[in-house]
Amino acid sequence: MGPRAWSALGVLVLSVVSAAAETPEERGAYLVQGPAGCGNCHTPLGPEGPVWSMDLGGRLVEDSPAFTAYAPNITPGGPIADWSDAELARAIREGIRPDGSVIGPPMPFSMYRGLSDEDLGAIVAYLRTVPAVENIVPASTYNIPLPPAYGPPVGSVSAPPRAGTAEYGAYLAGPVAHCLECHTPMGPQGPKIATDLGRGGLEFHGPWGVSVAANLTSHPDGLAGYSDAEILAMITEGQRPDGSPMLPPMPYGYFARMTPEDAAALVLYLRTLPPLPDAM
């Protein structure tokens, strides 16, 4: 089955699963394979795109002067097989491995710290069920100092009610899909959430060349001139209103699997971002 057929099937299956939310594993499947887009970093890439037979098996994510980052194998065939559920949950939400070492960029811990207990548990439950991939991934190396931690230990976290509201859209755009991690300029301590939220400007380098995170605010430099339908098409199809394709690393295929209610909530939230001009 090709990537497009796989994606279309995923939309149908995950939409039904999400609506029922029958088990943590099913909720986790929707999050990981949908709005969280974990495979966008953790699934190996081949000449034709993601290698689905090695889904979540780990790969090189970024090689720059600052660091060479590998997304680890997060299937039961990787090192997480020996971690407890609590240890895996802490690694995802706080960036601390069982041995106490800190996980470095580009994992978006400024966002993941806001994952609810329920959704975090669902992600862990789902990862325990995916097919094991035998893939040894090198350790990441950093030429920048890593903090001892990304903040104090996270206590209990609750998510807003699942509904087509801007409040729930903020949860999707932040802790779940970490849109604002990539679309906010970086400072010495990470994304400048307090002053430049959603302003864009962050550069990404890859086989496609250089892409720049767009301005998501309600400024004319951002989304002010686009309709809701146009914004949805850009998020889920990777296509601008004029028909031109957009570039990676946006996980368009994963976002295409969001339920209509979640996609609408995400757009509602983006409309609330205070206007800021493009980062210079």
Encode pLDDT of 179-213 as tens digits.
999 999 988 777 898 999 999 998 888 778 889 99
The predicted structure's pLDDT at residue 5: 43
Retrieve residue 33's tokens. Answer: 């394979």
List the alpha helices (DSSP H) in 21-116: 24-33, 39-42, 85-94, 109-112
| 257/206: higher pLDDT | 257
* Mean pLDDT for the chain overall: 91
pLDDT at position 186 is: 86
Tokens of 55: 């889904």
The DSSP element (H or E) to which 62 belongs, if any, is strand 59-63
Enumerate the domain spans of the chain: 1-159, 163-280
pLDDT in tens, 34-65: 999 999 999 999 988 899 999 999 999 999 89
Instruction: State the pLDDT at residue 165.
Output: 97
**Per-residue confidence band for 16, with pLDDT thresholds at 50, 70 and 90:** very low
194 neighbors 251 (Cβ within 8 angstroms): no
The pLDDT of residue 243 is above 50:
yes
Question: 142: closest CA among 60, 69, 62?
Answer: 69
Q: What is the mean pLDDT of residues 63-91?
A: 96
Q: How far apart are CA 226 and CA 166, in angstroms?
A: 18
Q: Which one has a higher pLDDT value, 15 or 238? A: 238
Q: What confidence score (pLDDT) does residue 25 get?
A: 97
Residue position matching structure tokens 């939400």: 93
Summarize pLDDT for 1-14 with one digit per residue, the tens: 443 444 444 444 44
Q: Taking phi first (over 0 means left), then psi (-120 to 50 degrees means alpha), and beta for anything else, what does residue 202 get?
A: beta
* Cβ partners under 8 Å of residue 128, min gap 6: 25, 76, 85
Closest CA to 160 of 141, 174, 180, 146: 174
Span 110-141, pLDDT tens digits: 999 999 999 999 999 999 999 999 999 999 99
Would the pLDDT of 19 be above 70? no
CATH value of 163-280 in 1.10.238, 1.20.120, 1.10.3470, 1.10.760:
1.10.760
Those residues with Cβ within 8 angstroms of residue 227's Cβ, 6 or more apart along the chain or in another chain? none
Residue 109 predicted with pLDDT over 80: yes
pTM of the model: 0.90
